[in-house]
Structure 1
Amino acid sequence: MYLLIRILIVSLFSLPVWADEYLANVMQHIAPPQSQLAINIWDIEKKSSVYSINEQTLMQPASIQKLLTAVAATKQLGTDFYYETQVYIDGVVVQQQLNGDVYIKFSGDPSFTREQLKQLLTTLKTNDIQHINGNVILVSPTSESLRAPGWVWDDLGICYAAPVSDFIIDKNCVRASLSPLADNASEIIIDAQYPVEISTKAVFKPNIDVTQAKAQFCELHMQRFDGNHYRISGCYPGNQTISLAVAVNDPSRYAKDVIKAILNDKQVNYANLIISKQSIPPSAQLLATHQSEKLPKLLKIMLEKSDNLIADSLLKKIGQDFYRQTFNSDNIEGLDINGFTMGAKALQSILIELNLPFNDANLVDGSGLSRYNLLTSAQMLSVLQLIDSDTRFQYLTEFLPISGKSGTLKYQQHFNKPPLKAAISAKTGTMLGVENLAGFIQAKNGKHYAFVIIENGLTPDAKQTRLAPFSALLLRRLYDLQP
């Protein structure tokens, strides 16, 4: 009888304590010696903590911050939200001539493409407009804030850190290639449709192996100049052509040049092509509209592919919508409600309105690119708990990358094979020195856990020489946790 009672007591009350002790013991063997860790593991069914360490320590979140953006966008913008890009005419058409102006209103649609822009401008010809006896005006309340504070300088010329503007065409990303010449010099090959200039002084080093490039100080550098001009210098190991993905430096200039090329190709004449913050005149007639996919589709891409441009474009929209509702028009005047600062402040305010403990966080952007972002694993866990429990946000779990199946976890070593394959749905967060993971796991015992694993201070050398990522080692132990 005594033994039976003891067994019942152990089974009913001691599992969380046992699991905590087990994982604490595991940590002694797998915790990296140099990295800083913050961890939360939560039993979803029992609504109780299984294990935590440093849960109140502020850490760099990297791209797991996109979970915050997804929640705030759902709350503030709603699942029916979409971007619109529009073409208006203000004037009278007589014998293929528009006696007036054309207005093109951009909205910061991160999915807007050159082909979609062509389709919009084709409506000029279909409405019998060959000549514009006025201006083509690109309308946008453009913010000077194209990049968030704390974005790393070295990243700014690369497409994953493309500037966030109302003017976005093909993700503000230019594709080119760097190819070797006979004398180990190089040339840039770029499609004529890209109105940018890229020159090169780079050289190829066939006698240097890729693995030895760092030791031989052989690396490429890119300089950015006004007018979307770039210069590649330095060296590259080997003699194989490499692909380049260059972020547009001046989005408004780029948009003007693209529109100029399209109108010239369609042989549509006009007086001037200008950018203006002025409003569309009430007398203007809407000629054509392009609508993006609705918010859920955008969030699916953002979370699965860790799309920074979508995240930060949505952050700006969150700020615009939040502060237009908060302030009247007089109070808005003079405020940059289209910038990162107001967007990040709105993001934090919305999370606090949802009763999440984000008062002490430091939120700077929506993507997690900024090194100034700081939050705790406990705060991130509260977001996962909200997503799991609140019907307004539960659909977001369907968009998380699945280990070995989709998104940024599809090909990750140690996650793309048993036992972790298909057991995890989580958002990754990776940058130099940072490797984070936040999401859900179904363990072998059938239980569901929410987890946050934040690892900061991971050196490139330590990452290269380790046997497996720390998060994979810990989640393997959690997967095997006995009931």
Structure 2
Amino acid sequence: MLQRSNKSMNRRTTIIIIMLLICTLAATSCRVQQVSKSKIRNLINHSSINADHFTGFALYDIEKKKMVYDLNGDKYFTPASNTKLFTFYTALNMLGDSIPGLRYITKGDSLIFWGTGDPSFLHTTLKSTKVYELLKNSKQKLYYSSGNYSGNFYGMGWPYGDFDAYYQAEIGALPIEDNVAVLSADAKGKLQISPSFLKIYLKADSSFHPKSFTVERDLTNNTFRYPLGNVPPDYKQEIPWKTSDELTLALLQDTLKKPLELISVNMPETASTLYSSLSDSVYKRMLWPSDNFIAEQLLLVCSSTLPGPLSTGKVIEYSKKNFLNDLPQEPQWADGSGLSRHDLFTPFTMVALLQKIWNKVGDENRLLGMLPAGGVSGTLKSAYKTDNGKAFVWAKTGSLSNNHNQSGYLVTRKGKKFIFSYMNNNFTRPTAEIRAEMVRIMTEIHNQF
């Protein structure tokens, strides 16, 4: 009897010890989780740089499907080029593996074509030539039908003061060579412009005396004035040209070396589609250098898959209704690139969008290959240092005056995967200081967790 009693007591003691160990481990786990959250809070809140402007931050654990920490996560911020992630997700849903480059019909001895907004047509980097080859090799009479774009040449809320800045090319149904003139010096110190057709608009102005050699375009037309004298050998400038149907036709004729006529007829639903560049290459070109022109035109390409004329507003509303109706806070979305200050998104919304992008692409390597990688590529190449040669942040940056943001993906040294949105608005200190502090904090999260 005594032996039985001792065995029973030993069993009970063992069970109690196991239960105590389980409780201790659970408590330790909770404390570790709590400490992690506390450390992140301290990193964000104890930053003197974060304290002097409006800061938003959200960190989401992909594996656990939970928000780890946020600061002002439900407040609206000016996103700047973080807006391109909305354009990216819309394109992922509406376009296939190739970009629709042209819509066309043949009628007797005529080929009539309409633009789709495709930004890759003779683009300086993407260099898509499929549309060019179709039109160049056609034996039929060519007719360009304009009028299938219903919007303005600028997005909603774009500043007119930046009309001659390289990053604010005008929007249209059939862009050519980025809709941007490239000016440079030749070997003899003479001013050159590409496309060369635009030479007719170059005007030497003896009354123009800038501090250093520069070219200015008139606000309302394509007069490019420049000062007298030799052009510096290292001079290069990019200036958007003033778009018009007539200029598009003239540029096409000059490029194709064959006549075209301008008409305006409605496009039938049965019009054929010619596909141009691979979609992923266009997305990567939009995201790596944060290309505003491609972002705006991509929304028009998405619009080309819907009935009616090309329209930025129409496709934004379509995307919000069909793909983005479950976001935490409704986005105020105005354009494709983020040039507009009408765009307003919350950190929670950015995180939810990035989760949707992650799920939609379904291939981690493919997705991260299209985003700037810290210390490796795109707009983050010089911002971060790699960890033993490997990137740990893949994100879209967004900058306007007094605003700088990053939203994307983070992998820690322990292999944890997070989605984050770090938004800074209304600061007056140099952007470089804001960027450096963001990098410091994201690097600390990578190192500690």
Question: TM-score normalised to the size of structure 2?
Answer: 0.80
Match of 1:244 in 2: 237
Q: CA deviation at 1:102?
A: 4.5
Question: Against the structure 1 CA distance between its residues 436 and 373, is the aligned structure 2 distance closer, same or farther, given a 3 Å change threshold?
Answer: same
Question: Against the structure 1 CA distance between its residues 262 and 67, is the aligned structure 2 distance closer, same or farther, given a 3 Å change threshold?
Answer: closer
Match of 1:213 in 2: none
Mapping of residues 70-81 of structure 1, within 5 Å? 70-75=88-93, 77-81=94-98
SS of the aligned residue for 2:88 comes to: helix
Match of 1:85 in 2: 102
Match of 2:31 in 1: 14
> What 5-or-longer segments of structure 2 have no aligned partner?
1-16, 124-128
Tell me, yes or no, if the aligned pair for 1:178 and 1:244 is still in contact at 8 Å: no
Identify the match of residue 41 of structure 2 among 24, 27, 34. 24
Question: Against the structure 1 CA distance between its residues 409 and 275, is the aligned structure 2 distance closer, same or farther, given a 3 Å change threshold?
Answer: farther
Provide the rounded CA distance (Å) in 2 between the counterparts of 1:467 and 1:121.
Answer: 49
Match of 1:405 in 2: 376
Q: CA deviation at 1:380?
A: 0.4
- The letter for the 2-side match of 1:170 is E
Matched, 1:310 2:294: yes
SS of the aligned residue for 2:376 comes to: coil
Q: CA deviation at 1:82?
A: 2.4
CA-to-aligned-CA distance 1:374-418 (integer Å, 9 cap, x gap): 0100000111222334566865344111112222222x23x1444
Tell me, yes or no, if the aligned pair for 1:157 and 1:222 is still in contact at 8 Å: yes
SS of the aligned residue for 2:345 comes to: coil
Provide the rounded CA distance (Å) in 2 between the counterparts of 1:103 and 1:116.
Answer: 16
Question: Against the structure 1 CA distance between its residues 119 and 239, is the aligned structure 2 distance closer, same or farther, given a 3 Å change threshold?
Answer: closer
Tell me, yes or no, if the aligned pair for 1:343 and 1:365 is still in contact at 8 Å: no
- The letter for the 2-side match of 1:471 is M
Identify the match of residue 348 of structure 2 among 372, 375, 378. 378
- The letter for the 2-side match of 1:312 is E
Q: CA deviation at 1:479?
A: 1.1
Match of 1:344 in 2: 316
SS of the aligned residue for 1:449 comes to: strand
Tell me, yes or no, if the aligned pair for 2:81 and 2:337 is still in contact at 8 Å: yes
Question: Against the structure 1 CA distance between its residues 479 and 176, is the aligned structure 2 distance closer, same or farther, given a 3 Å change threshold?
Answer: same
Match of 2:395 in 1: 426
Question: Against the structure 1 CA distance between its residues 468 and 39, is the aligned structure 2 distance closer, same or farther, given a 3 Å change threshold?
Answer: closer
Q: CA deviation at 1:307?
A: 2.4
Provide the rounded CA distance (Å) in 2 between the counterparts of 1:136 and 1:468.
Answer: 50
Match of 2:407 in 1: 438
Q: CA deviation at 1:243?
A: 1.0
Provide the rounded CA distance (Å) in 1 between the counterparts of 2:144 and 2:268.
Answer: 10
Tell me, yes or no, if the aligned pair for 2:361 and 2:367 is still in contact at 8 Å: no
CA-to-aligned-CA distance 1:63-82 (integer Å, 9 cap, x gap): 1222222222222x243452
Match of 2:218 in 1: 224
Identify the match of residue 334 of structure 2 among 352, 364, 384. 364
Provide the rounded CA distance (Å) in 2 between the counterparts of 1:419 and 1:406.
Answer: 16
- The letter for the 2-side match of 1:305 is P
Provide the rounded CA distance (Å) in 1 between the counterparts of 2:226 and 2:333.
Answer: 33
Which structure shows the higher strand fraction?
1
Provide the rounded CA distance (Å) in 2 between the counterparts of 1:458 and 1:470.
Answer: 13
Question: TM-score normalised to the size of structure 1?
Answer: 0.75
Provide the rounded CA distance (Å) in 1 between the counterparts of 2:153 and 2:194.
Answer: 25
Provide the rounded CA distance (Å) in 2 between the counterparts of 1:219 and 1:384.
Answer: 43
Match of 1:153 in 2: 160
Provide the rounded CA distance (Å) in 1 between the counterparts of 2:56 and 2:426.
Answer: 12
Matched, 1:45 2:63: yes
Tell me, yes or no, if the aligned pair for 1:172 and 1:251 is still in contact at 8 Å: no
- The letter for the 1-side match of 2:159 is V
CA-to-aligned-CA distance 1:432-452 (integer Å, 9 cap, x gap): 222211111111222111111
Match of 2:117 in 1: 108
Mapping of residues 276-295 of structure 1, within 5 Å? 276-279=264-267, 290-295=274-279
SS of the aligned residue for 1:352 comes to: coil
Segment drifting more, 391-400 vs 250-259 = 391-400
Provide the rounded CA distance (Å) in 1 between the counterparts of 2:265 and 2:220.
Answer: 22
Q: Percent identity?
A: 23
Matched, 1:473 2:443: no
Match of 2:134 in 1: 120
Provide the rounded CA distance (Å) in 2 between the counterparts of 1:59 and 1:281.
Answer: 40
Question: Against the structure 1 CA distance between its residues 378 and 118, is the aligned structure 2 distance closer, same or farther, given a 3 Å change threshold?
Answer: closer
Match of 1:209 in 2: none
Q: CA deviation at 1:110?
A: 0.6
- The letter for the 1-side match of 2:236 is S
- The letter for the 2-side match of 1:195 is L
CA-to-aligned-CA distance 1:62-111 (integer Å, 9 cap, x gap): 11222222222222x2434521326655445xxxxxxxx55233221110
Provide the rounded CA distance (Å) in 1 between the counterparts of 2:336 and 2:363.
Answer: 17
- The letter for the 2-side match of 1:435 is H
Provide the rounded CA distance (Å) in 1 between the counterparts of 2:28 and 2:240.
Answer: 57
Question: Against the structure 1 CA distance between its residues 90 and 451, is the aligned structure 2 distance closer, same or farther, given a 3 Å change threshold?
Answer: same
Provide the aligned C-alpha RMSD in A. 3.6
Provide the rounded CA distance (Å) in 1 between the counterparts of 2:63 and 2:103.
Answer: 48
Provide the rounded CA distance (Å) in 2 between the counterparts of 1:152 and 1:419.
Answer: 43
- The letter for the 2-side match of 1:409 is L
Question: Against the structure 1 CA distance between its residues 430 and 446, is the aligned structure 2 distance closer, same or farther, given a 3 Å change threshold?
Answer: same
Provide the rounded CA distance (Å) in 1 between the counterparts of 2:437 and 2:269.
Answer: 58
- The letter for the 1-side match of 2:267 is S
Question: Against the structure 1 CA distance between its residues 280 and 351, is the aligned structure 2 distance closer, same or farther, given a 3 Å change threshold?
Answer: closer
- The letter for the 1-side match of 2:310 is N
Q: Which has the larger radius of gyration?
A: 2
- The letter for the 2-side match of 1:279 is M
